[in-house]
Structure 1
Amino acid sequence: MSLKQSGGPVEQEPAETVRAPREGYSLSARIGAEAVGAFLLVGGALGIGMFNPQGGFAVPFGFGFAVAAAMLAFGYISGGHFNPAITLGTALAGRTAWKHVLPYIVAQVAGASLATTVLWVILRSHPANSQSQSLFAAISNHFDASGSSGFSLAGVFLAEAVCTALLVAVYLGATARAARPGSAPFAVGLALSVLTAFLLPVSNAGLNPARSTATVYFGDGTAAGQLWLFWAAPLLGAVIAGLIYRSAEGAPQRATGKAAEGKAAKGKAADFGYAKDDVDVTGADKPQQEPDNGAAEAKDFFDGQGGPASRGNKSAK
């Protein structure tokens, strides 16, 4: 049970009806934010590559700035994933509810696909629209099946898996409770820029299965046949990063004798996103206890209210 002051006598409410304050984003709002963020990320960055083929570092920085802007604009609603690999990694780390994983991924692919459709329509309006297929083929992810003239399947798979694991690790670390408030978009954006610059000559920089899928519709068919790798490798990297982070996050609890408390918190895990509408405030007898599973972290960072103390104060209110 929890207590609520209503101008006179103290009223009681069932504990299960009390929610963390300032939350209430529905699943439809969350997947909408993920779709719009993926649209901005893929449309903006790939548009730079298509319309400025000699842009040099413009493409890596385009991806980095786009994801930072999308996280700042929409992250407080959904968590700012915009990438199936990050969604899977946060779920394995115990920060995203599994019931949200598939809707998030569908929304991300839909938003990215809509972005490339818009780019295709724009290209078709140009007199030299016969080049649209070759341009989409040029920005699609690929590997050299024979290994004779470029990076082979094994090399591309390793590069994509390792780099995606690093990207997911940066996301998890930058949005951790002890991280500097408000730093997550910039940390993730910089990491994405660096990793994209590294992978461009290797595979055209996948890192994001939604981005890889979105370009195959209008290409020459080769990329579609190789698309499986750009799902398998990033998701493997996400699994590695998510499991390692979850293990590392649980180690301090075991060291301080809080294993039972951590297990109970994981049982009440809500979505890691910036919306904490699934997080229960457990009652007035324990007003400062909140599930320590990362579910409430990211919104606090963007609001500049990071840290257990601030969350305890909010719960007490």
Structure 2
Amino acid sequence: MGQREGIMSNIRKYAAEAIGTFWLTFGGCGAAVLAAGFPDVGIGLLGVSLAFGLTVLTMAYTIGHVSGCHLNPAVTVGLAVGGRFPADQIAPYVIAQVIGAIVGAAVLYVIASGAAGFDAVASGFAANGYGEHSPGGYSLTAALVTELVLTMLFLFIIMGSTHGKAPAGFAPIAIGLGLTLIHLISIPVTNTSVNPARSTGPALFVGGWAISQLWLFWVAPILGGAVGGALYRWISAEPSAPVVGETVKPS
């Protein structure tokens, strides 16, 4: 019975990660695609940045106790490197996150396609890019450094705010505002990824250049997440609880 409960607990964690990453991709990219440049009353860069931050904040309070609310392969890897997540759970978490992001992008595509003249390729569909596909025309090197450094600092925020000695209950606020700040900094550079799953969903619907540049938005965030996890583990070596949600003890 204990083993069965453990399996069901893991399935619930993976489902929570998929749903949460769906919300992040649909909510954040949806704000960019549907509302950022809406005639006269568009929410702009600030609104899109807040949308991404709010998706994480709301889901952290909603599913944090279930799965730890990673919603991001770079976060999962970074927490594992930082000693706060079991390495044998990286693959299923990442798979669930990517599935959630793809479904989120698919639902967004269906909605966006309801407007006359919508073209995912022409609009960019909130895909991440560098060079001529960077919103500000930033180079590959600039994009690489931006994604690596910001993901590293994002892990720093996550590791610190979820530490046992941090103020209880405030981690989602710090993490959500941290992601908002990250977007305020880097939307002009790469359209902001710091999340390989979020990048993958829209890229599949844009195709072409978005697929060919997708490698950067896997490599840089995961490397940055790993560095951030390792760095925080060194700075605050005192053990703290894993970021995995509730666990089921075998009977």
The answer to whether TM tops 0.5 is: yes
Alignment of structure 1 residues 53-202 onto 2, 5 Å? 53-54=36-37, 55-56=43-44, 57-129=46-118, 131-135=119-123, 137-144=124-131, 150-202=137-189
Alignment of structure 1 residues 258-277 onto 2, 5 Å? 272-277=243-248
**Given the two structures, how large is their TM-score scaled by the length of structure 2?**
0.89
Which residue of structure 2 aligns with residue 240 of structure 1? Answer: 227
Question: Partner letter of residue 205 of structure 2?
Answer: F
**Cα distance, 1:272 vs structure 2:** 2.7
**Given the two structures, how large is their TM-score scaled by the length of structure 1?**
0.71
* Percent identity for Structure 1 against Structure 2: 34
Which residue of structure 1 aligns with residue 22 of structure 2? Answer: 39
**Cα separation, partners in 2 of 1:146 and 1:214, compared to 1, 3 Å:** closer
- 1-structure distance, mates of 2:97, 2:163: 23
Asked if the contact 2:79–2:243 (Cα under 8 Å) also holds between the matched residues in 1, the reply is yes
SS at match of 1:272: coil
The structure 1 segments of at least 4 consecutive aligned residues displaced by more than 6 Å after TM superposition are: none
Question: Partner letter of residue 272 of structure 1?
Answer: V
What residue ranges of structure 1 are gaps of 5+ in the alignment?
1-16, 18-22, 253-261, 281-317
**Cα distance, 1:121 vs structure 2:** 1.3
**Cα distance, 1:138 vs structure 2:** 4.7
**Cα distance, 1:110 vs structure 2:** 0.4
Superposition RMSD in Å: 2.4
* Deviation digits for residues 171-201 of structure 1 (CA, Å, limit 9, x no counterpart): 0000000000111110000000000111000
Which residue of structure 2 aligns with residue 216 of structure 1? Answer: 203
- 2-structure distance, mates of 1:53, 1:41: 16
Residue 217 of structure 2 is aligned with which of 230, 234, 251? Answer: 230
- 2-structure distance, mates of 1:38, 1:278: 27
Which residue of structure 2 aligns with residue 300 of structure 1? Answer: none
**Cα distance, 1:274 vs structure 2:** 1.9
Which residue of structure 2 aligns with residue 249 of structure 1? Answer: 236
**Cα distance, 1:209 vs structure 2:** 0.4
**Cα distance, 1:124 vs structure 2:** 2.5
Which residue of structure 2 aligns with residue 29 of structure 1? Answer: 12
**Cα distance, 1:24 vs structure 2:** 9.1
Question: Partner letter of residue 151 of structure 2?
Answer: T
Q: Which structure's residues are more often helix, by fraction?
A: 2
Asked if the contact 1:95–1:272 (Cα under 8 Å) also holds between the matched residues in 2, the reply is yes
Question: Partner letter of residue 114 of structure 1?
Answer: V
Asked if the contact 1:24–1:277 (Cα under 8 Å) also holds between the matched residues in 2, the reply is no
SS at match of 1:215: helix
- 2-structure distance, mates of 1:195, 1:146: 19
**Cα distance, 1:220 vs structure 2:** 4.5
What residue ranges of structure 2 are gaps of 5+ in the alignment?
38-42
SS at match of 1:139: coil
Q: RCO higher in 1 or 2 (8 Å CA, sep ≥ 6)?
A: 2
